[in-house]
Structure 1
């Protein structure tokens, strides 16, 4: 293991053109008991006001930043819950002001909103990928999770979307009490999806499950974590991120931008974005920094929730300096099977990453939680299980 690094550039070389866009659609037909995202059921006039404000915000982003999109992702909430005219208007606003993704455009979809006609509309609007909230193919598990669709509806929705020519990713929740995980995985693969996101049921404070006292046992969490990889690997899927599996070439290009700590726009209430903050961007330029602190590399913006966002408030703004940028990149990048290219991270941040964090790297390699292969630092399977502790070592370095 060598911790030496090549010479650093004279200045950091971060992203200055934004190539990824996330759009948050907060409306849902119902609120699941495990959900802690910014979501709400629609009320009269809210969607109309949302679409009007969204157009204004899209125009503002276009005026502030250099944008050349590779990917667009509509998440929620339930974007597919929007009526046909509403989602057509939303896509029109994006295209007018920000363009459209050249590589991948994803729509999050609830199975209960799918029909052949709607799938054809989504495809005609420019979506080529569907992320479907299947969660399980067992009716008892779906009922426990508070889902409004049943297993038959989920199967029909996935088949309809594939028939419409969309790449389909299926979401799966694991470690649910009584869940027949093996049949869930076999069934989802058998439907023909090319990507599966498998998330452990997590009980977040403030959710209905937390109020009910629902718990997840660590043994169940670990068993689901390991069994999911075993079965999906046998079916020809590769685990490329802690919770994500894909057939060859079918990884989520949009989500890879997050995990590789690239800049992206956040559009809509509750949306977060990471924006350029150095000269050369079209944006707000260098943010003021406190005396003794380095000029920030990026700016993180988090929009307020719907009612405040509709008034025009822009929410929280945080300047990200080089050290924060590096630890963020490590926290996200170590989730990937490929890991983090430390030489590239040094180039982007202007920090000598291997030298600055030599102790943390060596300690975690020694524990068997990280491995260093040339310039690539990656987590081992054991390290994935304790990733928060690994990253804490870098934060404390």
Structure 2
């Protein structure tokens, strides 16, 4: 199991791991308003917080840049609403990142709220080096948007996508499904018609502590299942390929390269308040790989280091299963064995056999994949592997 470690200052002696980190996530917590379903670390803009945030990001980027071997393939600016930053603020942020950790060689994504887009702003972002936009459309039905607490209209979402495409962006559109009364087929058809190359479709989830949870909002299982099935049916009929549980692409080249890094267990930097990263240890010093999750804004601004979790070989396996089985292609068992130091196929043979018998997993040569039924029950599958690993350790 994961074991908490004391925080290690980022500017301490370099790890000098032989692994090159090729991906970076930067969290921008500021939003024009807070959606009632959102449980991310976000807050409304006020006072001098943005100025202090930008200064602290530069410090953090400098520390990470001096600590790791970094040659970025992808960079992802998420939130929050990164596109809510003003032009000068975005220039300062991107300059800090370029100066200390570099820029993505293959893909640089900006999360965009439709209400923040104009032709001039889209051109400005493109000029700064962003080439992919992930747009929080959520729906093209105004009553659904109102229920979700979104401030933009369906027409504003259409115009935002069109303006980003005109500026030269690769565009991904986000949809929320399983909302009562939502005309999902129309939402999907409208998004396809706009010309996006990628769609991320996520079921509305009611998380504890959110306004929706306090209001007693619920999601019916039949709506969740219908959304799951309709999204696949309509998008695949339009030529999109479902390459991950919730993600569809017009072509292999349109897949999210950055998110694939998460799903395939690659290391990545995590910057900003609430940002999480995955980092290599130093095998020569018997250091395990670890996760670092930054604290929330005010603690992060004060320089607190957040939570660090060392990963055991069994942790590496269960993390990889939870993420890798989300992919249509599944995961390659020999690669996972090399990464974890365990003979996965041998050590987990009983649980693999049981999941195969239940029809939740498939084994294609050396690739382990979830079936459609297994996608629905992914937590149950991973729990079975986790419990088996704990039993082995206890023995």
* In 2, Cα distance between equivalents of 1:363 and 1:117: 56
Equivalent in the alignment of 1:97: 100
The yes-or-no answer on 1:252 pairing with 2:243 is no
Shift of residue 378, structure 1, vs aligned partner = 0.2
* In 1, Cα distance between equivalents of 2:18 and 2:329: 21
Q: How many residues matched?
A: 371
Shift of residue 63, structure 1, vs aligned partner = 1.1
Matches within 5 A, 1:38-77: 38-77=41-80
Deviations 1:129-153 (A, max 9, x none): 0000000000000000000100000
* In 2, Cα distance between equivalents of 1:112 and 1:325: 40
Deviations 1:79-106 (A, max 9, x none): 0000000011000000000010000000
Q: Choose 53-62 or 341-350, whichever is displaced more.
A: 341-350
SS of the counterpart of 2:254?
Answer: coil
Equivalent in the alignment of 1:276: 280
Q: 1:305 aligns with which of 278, 283, 296?
A: 296
* In 2, Cα distance between equivalents of 1:62 and 1:323: 29
* In 1, Cα distance between equivalents of 2:268 and 2:18: 10
The yes-or-no answer on 1:321 pairing with 2:312 is yes
Q: TM-score if structure 2 supplies the norm length?
A: 0.93
Preserved contact between residue 20 and residue 69 of structure 1 (Cα < 8 Å): yes
Shift of residue 47, structure 1, vs aligned partner = 0.1
SS of the counterpart of 1:24?
Answer: strand
Equivalent in the alignment of 1:212: 215
SS of the counterpart of 1:70?
Answer: strand
Shift of residue 15, structure 1, vs aligned partner = 7.5
SS of the counterpart of 1:230?
Answer: helix
Equivalent in the alignment of 2:156: 153
Shift of residue 279, structure 1, vs aligned partner = 4.2
Matches within 5 A, 1:138-177: 138-177=141-180
The yes-or-no answer on 1:200 pairing with 2:189 is no
Equivalent in the alignment of 1:356: 347
* In 2, Cα distance between equivalents of 1:84 and 1:356: 53
* In 1, Cα distance between equivalents of 2:339 and 2:36: 41
Shift of residue 299, structure 1, vs aligned partner = 1.2
Deviations 1:11-60 (A, max 9, x none): xxx97111000000000000000000000001110000000000000000
Preserved contact between residue 15 and residue 263 of structure 1 (Cα < 8 Å): no
* In 1, Cα distance between equivalents of 2:353 and 2:236: 30
* In 1, Cα distance between equivalents of 2:300 and 2:283: 28
* In 1, Cα distance between equivalents of 2:148 and 2:18: 40
Q: 1:344 aligns with which of 328, 331, 335?
A: 335
Equivalent in the alignment of 1:223: 226
Shift of residue 286, structure 1, vs aligned partner = 4.7
* In 1, Cα distance between equivalents of 2:197 and 2:54: 32
Equivalent in the alignment of 1:18: 21
Preserved contact between residue 274 and residue 299 of structure 1 (Cα < 8 Å): yes
SS of the counterpart of 2:43?
Answer: coil
* In 1, Cα distance between equivalents of 2:28 and 2:298: 13
* In 1, Cα distance between equivalents of 2:329 and 2:359: 16
Q: Which has the higher helix share?
A: 2
Equivalent in the alignment of 2:244: 241
Equivalent in the alignment of 2:380: 389
* In 1, Cα distance between equivalents of 2:154 and 2:49: 31
* In 2, Cα distance between equivalents of 1:169 and 1:19: 22
Q: TM-score if structure 1 supplies the norm length?
A: 0.92
Preserved contact between residue 108 and residue 131 of structure 1 (Cα < 8 Å): yes
Shift of residue 347, structure 1, vs aligned partner = 1.6
Structure 1 residue runs of 4 or more that deviate by more than 3 Å after TM superposition: none
Preserved contact between residue 304 and residue 315 of structure 1 (Cα < 8 Å): yes
Shift of residue 186, structure 1, vs aligned partner = 0.2
* In 2, Cα distance between equivalents of 1:356 and 1:393: 13
Preserved contact between residue 15 and residue 262 of structure 1 (Cα < 8 Å): no
Deviations 1:369-393 (A, max 9, x none): 1000000000000100000001111
Equivalent in the alignment of 1:136: 139
